[in-house]
Amino acid sequence: MATPSHAPLAGLKVLDLGQIYQGPYCGFLLAMAGATVVKVEPPGGEAGRARRAATLPLAMLNGNKRGIALNFKHAEGRRLFVELVQQFDVVLENYAPGVMDRLGIGAEVLRAANPRLVYASASGYGTWGPDRDRLAMDLTIQATSGAMEVTGWPDRPPVKAGPAFADFLGGTHLYAAIMTALYERERTGVGRRVEIAMQDAMYPPMASNLTVFFENPQAQARTGNRHGGLGLAPYNAYRASDGYVTIMCVTPGHWGKLVHAMGRAELADDPRYADHAARAALMEEVDALVEGWTQRHTRAELQALAQAHHFPCAPVRGLAEVVNDPHLHARGMLRHCHHPELGDVVLHNSPLRFDGFDPLALVREPRLGEHTGEVLAEYLGIDAAELGRLAQLGAVATVPAEPGAA
């Protein structure tokens, strides 16, 4: 796949050992910014292929990458990888801490082979500290980070967030760490090992909840759809005639704009609702007042009123609405695709945008080992006969290339 020479990361070469969500998302961001990203999987495929060769997450997070399959448990597979590393700029992985070292291809070995290498790892709890060896997935990190404890309603059990926030926060922070190390390498000529821990990345988003905790450690942690800081009202999801909308008053002027839209301009000067603190003290009353108005209107009507009067409001939308969102499609963030195995799906581009560089066209994710022969020939000069020998030994896996872009 050709990358425009003016792409921000054109010329950058990345070996992506990512699996499931966290690592692959980082690799996807790099690929969509123009880097050459080679996805490296074991002969049986990464963990995301455990159930079947093609899944929507694989398609979403591994587009615009080439794919090879190397057996790190075989000496020849490890040798090939170290030789590849000497020609690449970045290795990223999100294996459990210690796995790469036990295989004999950890950061020290790889950076000795290529001192310019940026070696980037992501894990649940990091590579040091008392919890480093705890098993981690998105759900366990949501639990240990406190995110579940502050999600849900006061009289019900804690609830996880629907999306895999911990995994994707981890992938985004890993991208940032890689780019920081690459910037440093421009000055020093030497690479660096960088890492992120998902649990670390989950603490800053808890700012509102932590504000309440430090002011009153005994305060109720779960506030439903209300503001986690308990200091804003209205701030909630309100029933409309055809679903729900969210409305919030954050600046001092929002309340006056909202009540004017409601046809209750007199409430703007009512001392009972004079400021955030006064309204928060009457939160139930304020919510009932707002919902008494919203339930008489459709979501579209409420959105139009909010736009006209300039206060924050958005419909609570279903996934069918989201994947067909005209705005996201107009921005090139979403695209209808026909995937050879998955059928008609909607795939995303990168959220990172660069002035003067249009989003790259989406190319479907590689099949397991699809580019093994191509990549080994390009970078290591391995011919078909040698590739056959390596495959027979079990050091690599390859499949015939198959045309078809997502």
Are 35 and 165 within one domain? yes
- Residue 377, judged by CB atoms within 10 A of its CB (0-12, 13-18, 19+), counts as middle
Of 260, 281, 316, which residue sits at a domain end? 316
- DSSP-based three-state secondary structure for 20: coil
- What is the DSSP code (8-state) at residue 85? H
Look up the domain containing 266 and give its range: 235-316
Are 240 and 358 within one domain? no
Q: How confident is the model at residue 52, as a pLDDT?
A: 75
174 within a domain of the structure (yes/no): yes
355 within a domain of the structure (yes/no): yes
261 within a domain of the structure (yes/no): yes
Which helix (H) or strand (E) segment holds residue 163: the answer is none
Are 143 and 266 within one domain? no
229 within a domain of the structure (yes/no): no
209 within a domain of the structure (yes/no): no
Per-residue pLDDT of the chain (406 residues; tens, 9 = 90+): 778 889 999 999 999 999 999 999 999 999 999 999 999 999 999 998 876 778 999 999 999 999 999 999 999 999 999 999 999 999 999 999 999 999 999 999 999 999 999 999 999 999 999 999 999 999 999 999 999 999 999 999 999 999 999 999 999 999 999 999 999 999 999 999 999 999 999 999 999 999 889 988 988 889 899 888 767 999 999 999 999 999 999 998 999 999 999 999 999 999 999 999 999 999 999 999 999 999 999 999 999 999 999 999 999 999 999 999 999 999 999 999 999 999 999 999 999 999 999 999 999 999 999 999 999 999 999 999 999 999 999 999 998 555 444 4
289 within a domain of the structure (yes/no): yes
Are 141 and 115 within one domain? yes
258 within a domain of the structure (yes/no): yes
CATH number at residue 54: 3.40.50.10540
Dig out the tokens for 116 from the structure: 């310019």
Task: Enumerate the β-bridge partners of residue 243.
Answer: 240
Are 295 and 263 within one domain? yes
CA distance 401 to 356: 33
- Rounded to 10°, the helix 252-261/299-309 angle is 130
Are 24 and 113 within one domain? yes
In the chain, how many domains are there?
2
- What is the DSSP code (8-state) at residue 354? B
CA distance 166 to 326: 28
> What value does the CA radius of gyration of the chain take, rounded to a whole number of Å?
25
Are 309 and 331 within one domain? no
- What is the DSSP code (8-state) at residue 358? P
Q: How confident is the model at residue 402, as a pLDDT?
A: 54
Beta strands in 169-268 (DSSP E): 193-197, 235-240, 243-248
Which helix (H) or strand (E) segment holds residue 123: the answer is strand 118-123
Of 270, 295, 316, which residue sits at a domain end? 316
Which residues have a catalytic role annotated? 167
CB atoms within 10 A of CB 368: 22
Contact 64, 31 (CB under 8 A): yes
Q: How confident is the model at residue 219, as a pLDDT?
A: 84
Give the distance, in angstroms, between the CA of residue 353 and the centroid of all CA atoms in the same chain. 15
Are 150 and 283 within one domain? no
Are 342 and 193 within one domain? yes
Of 316, 342, 375, which residue sits at a domain end? 316
CA distance 50 to 338: 23
Q: How confident is the model at residue 404, as a pLDDT?
A: 45
Q: How confident is the model at residue 400, as a pLDDT?
A: 59
- What is the DSSP code (8-state) at residue 267? G
CB atoms within 10 A of CB 161: 13
CA distance 210 to 221: 9
Are 70 and 139 within one domain? yes
Are 282 and 175 within one domain? no
Residue matched to tokens 């019900």 = 156
**Any residues with CB less than 8 A from the CB of 176 and at least 6 apart, and which?**
none
Are 166 and 24 within one domain? yes
212 within a domain of the structure (yes/no): no
CATH number at residue 275: 3.30.1540.10
Amino acid sitting at position 371: H
